[in-house]
Structure 1
């Protein structure tokens, strides 16, 4: 169970957009300081985001505050190892309560799971920024990835019981289906597309050939990106820096917004903010931006 800085049922902040639209964005920045040097600040200034989830922060809370500016209220959970991982949530109003830690107390989830409750137009919205391990087949890294995914499966029903409007978003480092990876045939034995990993997503949203897939199957959560895009390749959210992967759109869809049915039903727009050109990228991931009508 996550640790609370105060009662878990209390909202942590009041987010009050001018309209009922709540824009939530998520991105793995590969180090926020480097991302800002390459143009992240300009993207954020133009995107009118209400809540921003960041993964792989790789910096201090002071760094985040200095880069984002005083208009953002920042929650940050750093990794145990300095300069690694790190997740954050930034909102347009003050946040005072958040929950961290996932799974058993002996399991180190620092820098990978951060929950917060927001009050939007009188509704409780729970937002989780998460960064799942990348993993490597037949190594301790893969064991840690499965431990994290196991803990995540245990937490998801608790989140849904806590708030019927919850969203888990971030770099989940698994392509669920063949349409989520351009070169899926060449990756079936690699971490990120292993059958064992994909089975976790079958548990969360249902298997693609299961009645009710992404509409009540599994644990009942909704993959917002797939729901919005339909049965098409991608839209991809990560491309290797190497070779022509970006130019050829040889990517992976591994950045998600997984929402409870009530929140998923309120989606009015979904966007993958792919850079116009390779030299305009400020991360090997791209932001995933969703508008919810609350």
Structure 2
């Protein structure tokens, strides 16, 4: 791998459909070293066939066929990978995949995560909180395992009002509930804390917010309904959460937003970050 390690993450909303719409062309020209995918919704054979032999592919499909699914593809082989998250009776299949990569003599741990979307006052929201609880327990262990650790993916929560264009209209909806956002206060730190996003909370850094600064967005997901994409009425729910040591190596952070609605191959945009390892 090169000195600048390029890691991209995207919810593909079905990888087969994404490739039909142009994902392959995007990937061919992007120089990605490690690619984390969410909502794969395909078999491992499908995924390997689409990406090609030059990629080493790890894939954790969901228990229910055709649902969720996370993957990590890389230019070199992972030294170890793990998929278990939470208690034994908790089904996290297709939503959490960890992999270790040797880069410049150091171990970089990458997690592809897909948090439940949830729905207020339904079992879906209960499962979302169970996942966030398990994630909260796992994050400190990841940081202990490797000082260069990274959790990427569709985390389905807008942490702050800056992360949602129409935040006032969504304060009672899943994805922006105060209880959900409080988890991110614990992961990253609360915005009213002096050490917010400097390794506060559980010690993780929101690379997107640190890079963009105190500005609206930039957003990573737009509803397929109406003109949300055209008017940039979006949500920033796709993250790179890094340990401080890794966050300090960031060279660039880019959201590959399509030029036009009809050029999109997912309702999410890829988040591409260069780390100087």
* TM-score normalised by the chain length of structure 2: 0.99
Correspondences of 1:57-206 after superposition (within 5 Å): 57-95=40-78, 97-206=80-189
**1:77–1:87 contact (8 Å) kept in structure 2:** yes
Deviations 1:51-77 (A, max 9, x none): 000000000000001000000000000
**1:204–1:219 contact (8 Å) kept in structure 2:** yes
1:43 and 2:26 equivalent?
yes
Cα distance in 2 for residues equivalent to 1:128 and 1:255 = 13
Cα distance in 2 for residues equivalent to 1:97 and 1:224 = 25
Deviations 1:74-110 (A, max 9, x none): 0000000000000000000123521001000100000
Q: 1:34 to 1:183 in 2, by over 3 A?
A: same
Cα distance in 2 for residues equivalent to 1:94 and 1:117 = 9
> Match of 1:238?
221
Give aligned pairs, total: 277
**1:169–1:257 contact (8 Å) kept in structure 2:** yes
1:267 and 2:250 equivalent?
yes
**2:79–2:102 contact (8 Å) kept in structure 1:** no
> Match of 2:276?
293
| Secondary structure of the structure 1 residue equivalent to 2:222 | coil
**1:74–1:95 contact (8 Å) kept in structure 2:** no
Segments of structure 1 that go 5 or more residues without pairing to the other structure are: 1-15
**2:11–2:39 contact (8 Å) kept in structure 1:** yes
> Match of 1:10?
none
| Secondary structure of the structure 1 residue equivalent to 2:159 | coil
RMSD: 0.6
* TM-score normalised by the chain length of structure 1: 0.94
**1:239–1:245 contact (8 Å) kept in structure 2:** yes
Q: CA deviation at 1:141?
A: 0.2
| Secondary structure of the structure 2 residue equivalent to 1:141 | helix
Cα distance in 2 for residues equivalent to 1:136 and 1:287 = 25
| Secondary structure of the structure 2 residue equivalent to 1:119 | strand
| Secondary structure of the structure 1 residue equivalent to 2:25 | helix
**2:77–2:101 contact (8 Å) kept in structure 1:** no
| Secondary structure of the structure 2 residue equivalent to 1:47 | coil
